Amino acid sequence: SVLVIACPCALGLATPVAIMVGTGKGAENGILIKGGEALETAHKVDTIVFDKTGTITEGKPTVTDVLPADGFSEEALMRVTASAEMGSEHPLGQAIVQGAQEKGLELMQVADFEALTGRGIRAKINGQIILAGNRKLMEEQGIALGAFEAEADRLAGEGKTPMYVAADNSLTGIVAVADVVKPSSRRAIERLHKMGIQVAMITGDNKKTAGAIAKQVGIDRVLADVLPQDKAGEVKKLQAEGRKVAMVGDGINDAPALA
C-alpha cells in the first residue's frame, strides 16, 4: 500500500505511521526492527551474521555416532551420557536424551547437575562424576584423549559435533550429534551474495564442524568457538571494520548480539 502526503505538515503524522507499519510487518515475518533509525539504515547493510543452530540448520539435532572406549558398550555409553544430560536445556544434550529414549534405555538418577557454559555439563551418577562436553572441558580436567582425538576430528570434518564423555576423569567415549541444514539456507545465501552482501556464520561449534556446515551453504566467513556472551563482541568487531552489520538468530544465546 502507498501513503500519499498532500502537504508538508502531514509528514509529522505520516512518517511515524510508515515506520510503525514497516516494523509491524517485519515482526509478522520474524524480523526484529529496533526502531526507525534501524529501518532507515537497513539498505546500507553490507554484512549479515547468521547464528548456526536453528537458523542455518533445522535446530533439531540427532545422535549420529556412539564410540565407546574399551570396556564400555555403545548402550552403556549412551545410557550414562543421556542420564547426565537430562538436566540440560541445550539442543545437543536434548538430542542425546531423545536418542536414548528412542532406544528404550532406562536412564539413571542424577545428582549435582551443572551446566558449564561453552564447554558442556557435569553431573554425579551413582557416586561418579560424569563430564560430557568439548575438548576444552577435557583439557581443563587433564583428561587424556588418546586415539579419540583423531576420531573427533574426523567427525567434525563431516559437520558433526563430537562430545567427549568421561567418568571420574577417565575418558569413556564420544557421542556425536549432527543437525540438518535447512533446504532454504543455501538459496538464501546465494541471493545475498548476488546483492553484494558478505555472509558470516557465528557458532559455539569447533572450527572443523563449523567449516563443514559453512561449506555446504556457501558462507564466506566463519566465527567458531564463540561463547554465547561473546557473540555481541564479535558483531562489534565487524562494525569496527566499518561494516554495516545485521544479525540473524533465533535462540536466547543470540539475544545480546541481536540487541
Band of residue 5 on the pLDDT scale cut at 50, 70, 90: low
Neighbour count for residue 126 (Cβ, 10 Å): 12
Per-residue pLDDT reduced to its tens digit, 21-60: 888 888 888 777 777 777 777 788 999 999 988 889 988 8
Band of residue 82 on the pLDDT scale cut at 50, 70, 90: very high
Give CATH 3.40.50.1000 domain extents, the chain. Answer: 37-55+182-257
Per-residue pLDDT reduced to its tens digit, 113-144: 999 988 899 999 999 999 999 999 999 999 99
Q: Rounded to whole angstroms, how far apart are CA atoms 188 and 185?
A: 5
Residues labelled catalytic: 51
Q: Which residue, among 59, 91, 55, has the nearest Cα to 200 in the 3D structure?
A: 55
Q: 124 - beta bridge partners?
A: 111, 129
Per-residue pLDDT reduced to its tens digit, 12-21: 777 778 888 8
Q: What is the pTM of this model?
A: 0.72
Instruction: Match domain 60-179 to its CATH number in 3.30.67.10, 3.40.1110.10, 3.40.50.720, 1.20.120.160.
Output: 3.40.1110.10
Do 187 and 164 contact (CB within 8 A), yes or no? no
Band of residue 213 on the pLDDT scale cut at 50, 70, 90: very high
pLDDT at 16: 78
Most confident of 35-44, 156-165, 219-228: 156-165
Dump the DSSP string for the chain: ------SGGGHHHHHHHHHHHHHHHHHHTT----SHHHHHHGGG--EEEEEIIIIIB-S--EEEEEEEPTT--HHHHHHHHHHHHTT--SHHHHHHHHHHHHTTPPPPP-EEEEEETTTEEEEEETTEEEEEE-HHHHHHTT---TTHHHHHHHHHHTT-EEEEEEETTEEEEEEEEE-PBPHHHHHHHHHHHHTT-EEEEE-SS-HHHHHHHHHHHT-SEEE-S--GGGHHHHHHHHHHTT--EEEE--SGGGHHHH-
Give CATH 3.40.1110.10 domain extents, the chain. Answer: 60-179
* Radius of gyration (C-alpha) of the chain in whole angstroms: 22
Is the pLDDT at 7 greater than 80? The verdict is: no
Across the range 228-236, mean pLDDT stands at: 88
Q: What percent of the chain has pLDDT over 70?
A: 92
C-alpha cell, 118: 561453552
Do 99 and 63 contact (CB within 8 A), yes or no? yes
Is the pLDDT at 254 greater than 70? The verdict is: no
Do 165 and 132 contact (CB within 8 A), yes or no? yes
Is the pLDDT at 258 greater than 70? The verdict is: no
pLDDT at 53: 84
> Measured in whole angstroms, how far is the alpha carbon of residue 149 from the centre of its chain?
22
pLDDT at 22: 81
Q: Which residue has the higher pLDDT, 173 or 28?
A: 173
Mean pLDDT of the chain: 88
Across the range 210-229, mean pLDDT stands at: 90
Neighbour count for residue 215 (Cβ, 10 Å): 11
pLDDT at 37: 78
Is the pLDDT at 259 greater than 60? The verdict is: no
Q: Which CATH class is domain 37-55+182-257?
A: alpha beta
Q: 198 - beta bridge partners?
A: 47
